[in-house]
Chains A and B, each alone.
Chain A
Amino acid sequence: MTGLARTPRALHPIAWWLWALGLVAAASRITNPVLLAMLLAVLGFVIAQRRTDAPWARAFKYYLAMALVVIAIRVVFRSVFTTAAAPHEHVLFSLPLVHSPHWYAGVRLGGPVSIEGVLSATCDGLQLGTILCCIGAANVLANPKRALRVLPGALYELGVAVVVALSVAPQLVESAQRVRRARRLRAGHRRGLRGLRSIAVPVLEDALDRSLQLAAGMDSRGYGRTGAIGRAARRRTATLLLLGMLGLCVGTFGLLDAAAPWWLGLPTVVVGAALCVTGLLAGGRRIRRTVYRPDPWRAPEWVVAAGGVACAAVLLSDVGFGSADLVLSVAPLRWPTVPVVPAAAILLAGLAALAAPVPTPARAQIGRVDELHREPVAA
């Protein structure tokens, strides 16, 4: 097994997604800042160890920045709009107070800002930010083009569009960098609007060229052909999907509204889901794909996926700790506790950094430009 783990290869994208979604489920129960910090540290460590050199794999710092923005927004909103100033809270400072008229009671601007309010807003923001970073980690670690493969056949074209859209930004940045470098080599260093024009045109041209190459590559491999299914079958598929979606919508409403009749709830959801699945299966039949380079699912995949799922299971189970330990207590204000079991579960998920195989080094890959073309077509 260790031999397998040492062979440089990409881990199955679904394993990374399961791992990350497990951590999302875990984080959704935590507002304890220490546990959240541990979770973030684990994410960062695993990414630093096992990310590839692809353009999308360098994006984790942006997710971290987004988490900071989330925290800032949360704190500002909490301070300005819904200040909690119970008699026993510690007031930090006071903002000017604006009253709302009585017919709009319950909302007001400004007022005293308490330590408790700021702390709880920070931790709530940290929780949301951590969840964002978990999703970011999955995006960074898993190759989106290979994850596309597991989409149901009927959604495949939609998925291709999403993946192409996702990889446009890094691709554009890369193009811009290349053009700038070339320009600098030729000592043509212009700034301002004129400089922008001299870069924008080659970059757009470059992107267009690549898109055309990609399209040609996909076309030559049999993409976009509709198979041998007639118009009637397509109509049937569309009807099934529409009805299924409608059922899901109405059923969700029925589930959430306590006053709705019982049959509008769970039964409608189940029927809607069944219709959707049938529609997707029927739609998927018209797309035939063969697998060129299958992603294997071996021991490392099991370990990584199990680490994330186990972490979620432990945190959702409340076994060996109290759910009160997972949240920051602001009333009364006190230092956060560090429950042992959840902390161990989070650290366990960090084993993914060791269990996952080392990704293929960039030099061994055929070339950057080729990367975009090769992957979806290979599917």
Chain B
Amino acid sequence: MRVIRLLTTAVLGGGVLLLPGAAVAAAEPSHVGIVIGSQYACVRWHSGITGDDVLNQAAAVTYRSDGIVLTINGEPNPPHADDTHFWSYWHDTGGRWHYSGVGASAYQPKAGTVEGWSYDNGHADAPQPAAKPATLYAGICGARDKPEPKPTRSHTHHPVAPTTHVTPANPPRTSAPAPTTTTHAPVTATTATSRTTRPAKSAPGHSTGKSRPAPATRRHSTAAARPAPSTETTHPALRPAAQSLRPLPRPTDAAASDGGSPVRLLIGVGAAVVIGAGGVWTAIRRRRAD
């Protein structure tokens, strides 16, 4: 088993990074990374977690009434979604972003992978998220995996601990972050971004976004564990994301928030009832008169 894993490491990692040998045992990945535009977060993985769960744990999301993702952390403002303006959903497939073929709530990411969201602002082809995913997971979540193989529970459901995982905003270094020109029609917007399917038992075996836990990135986590930003030049361009990625308000909190003044609501309903009743009364009177 170990041998196979090492082999994969060599094959996959070799092309991307120069690794210091295969001696260091890496921790099992226990998180899922997420890149939203040019910002990122790390979310604890558990069995059955869906892309939608990951997104909701990392950011404040609003949905259109039909389930299409409308805004993520308040973007775009004003909220708008149509065929060429929508949040596109991507998977990390070890080296390139892969446009998701299924909705976020139908997809169950594996631990050690990275999810991507990018806003298509009027282009025919949705742009890829800002970072190239080959080394991404380590950059985002490596520090979480490394320190403790079994992270404590208190750690779990919080998005991004600001300081440790933030890397500086820099243009990508060598590896032309550039468009791996996989073009995807925005037609799939609905499937990709709508929460059409149920989290728990969704799409049995989608081959689309399946990605290995990328051994190379695991290795890289040693470097990522150090908070010092200056050493992080090996990471693709990422902007400090901490201040804008905040915890999602608990559903109960949100429900408790007031929905405007009840007086106005009553007046509005009352006006509708009075006018409607007036119409019905007139109609009945006219029918009697006939």
Interface set of A (CB-CB < 8 Å, partner B): 31, 34-35, 37-38, 40-42, 44-49, 53, 78, 82-88, 97, 99, 102, 105-108, 111-112, 117, 120-121, 123-124, 257-259, 323-325, 327-338, 340, 343, 347, 350
Tell whether A40 pairs with B265 under 8 Å between CB atoms, given A258-B84, A337-B259: no
Contact B63 A86 (CB under 8 A): yes
Distance to closest chain A CB from B128 (angstroms): 18
A111 to B276, CA, bound (A): 37
Residue of A nearest to B194 (CB): A82
Counted as pairs of residues, one from A and one from B, with CB atoms less than 8 Å apart, the total is: 165
A350 to B276, CA, bound (A): 11
A347 to B276, CA, bound (A): 12
Residue of B nearest to A111 (CB): B198
Tell whether A37 pairs with B272 under 8 Å between CB atoms, given A84-B67, A108-B197, A331-B63: yes
Distance to closest chain B CB from A238 (angstroms): 35
A334 to B251, CA, bound (A): 11
Distance to closest chain A CB from B272 (angstroms): 4
Q: Is B229 part of the contact surface with A, judged by Cβ < 8 Å?
A: no
Q: Which residues of chain A come closer than 8 Å to B251, judged between CB atoms?
A: 88, 332
Contact A31 B65 (CB under 8 A): yes
> Interface with A: B17-25, B26-34, B202-210, which one?
B202-210
Q: Which residues of chain B come closer than 8 Å to A257, judged between CB atoms?
A: 124
Contact B268 A108 (CB under 8 A): no
Residue of B nearest to A117 (CB): B67
A121 to B65, CA, bound (A): 7
Distance to closest chain A CB from B105 (angstroms): 7
**Which of chain B's residues 33-70 have a Cβ closer than 8 Å to chain A?**
52-53, 56, 62-63, 65-67
A46 to B279, CA, bound (A): 7
Contact B275 A105 (CB under 8 A): no
Q: Is B178 part of the contact surface with A, judged by Cβ < 8 Å?
A: no
A257 to B194, CA, bound (A): 22
A285 to B196, CA, bound (A): 55
One digit per residue, 1 when the CB lies within 8 angstroms of any chain A CB and 0 when it does not, for chain B 114-126 equals: 0000000011100
Q: Which of B199, B269, B279 gathers the greatest number of chain A CB atoms within 10 Å? A: B279
Q: 15 A-B residue contacts at CB 8 Å? A: A35-B268, A37-B272, A38-B275, A41-B273, A44-B276, A48-B278, A82-B67, A84-B66, A84-B196, A102-B203, A108-B198, A330-B65, A337-B265, A338-B260, A347-B271
Q: Which residues of chain A come closer than 8 Å to B62, judged between CB atoms?
A: 331
Q: Which residues of chain B come closer than 8 Å to A53, judged between CB atoms?
A: 290
Number of contact residues on B: which range applies? Answer: 35 or more
Contact A337 B272 (CB under 8 A): no
Residue of B nearest to A122 (CB): B65
Contact B201 A329 (CB under 8 A): no
Residue of A nearest to B264 (CB): A338
One digit per residue, 1 when the CB lies within 8 angstroms of any chain A CB and 0 when it does not, for chain B 84-107 equals: 100000000000000001110110
A119 to B272, CA, bound (A): 19
Q: Is B15 part of the contact surface with A, judged by Cβ < 8 Å?
A: no
Interface set of B (CB-CB < 8 Å, partner A): 52-53, 56, 62-63, 65-67, 78-79, 84, 101-103, 105-106, 122-124, 190-191, 194-199, 201, 203-208, 251, 254-255, 257-262, 264-265, 267-269, 271-276, 278-283, 286, 290
Residue of A nearest to B192 (CB): A106
A40 to B79, CA, bound (A): 27
Contact A323 B275 (CB under 8 A): no
Contact B102 A106 (CB under 8 A): yes
Q: Which residues of chain A come closer than 8 Å to B278, judged between CB atoms?
A: 45, 48
Contact B196 A108 (CB under 8 A): yes
A246 to B85, CA, bound (A): 29
Distance to closest chain B CB from A112 (angstroms): 6
Distance to closest chain A CB from B34 (angstroms): 15
A78 to B207, CA, bound (A): 27
Contact B65 A112 (CB under 8 A): no
Tell whether A329 pairs with B63 under 8 Å between CB atoms, given A83-B198, A105-B106: no
Distance to closest chain B CB from A330 (angstroms): 6
Contact B102 A105 (CB under 8 A): yes
Contact B78 A123 (CB under 8 A): no
Contact B268 A86 (CB under 8 A): no
Distance to closest chain A CB from B26 (angstroms): 30
Contact A120 B265 (CB under 8 A): no
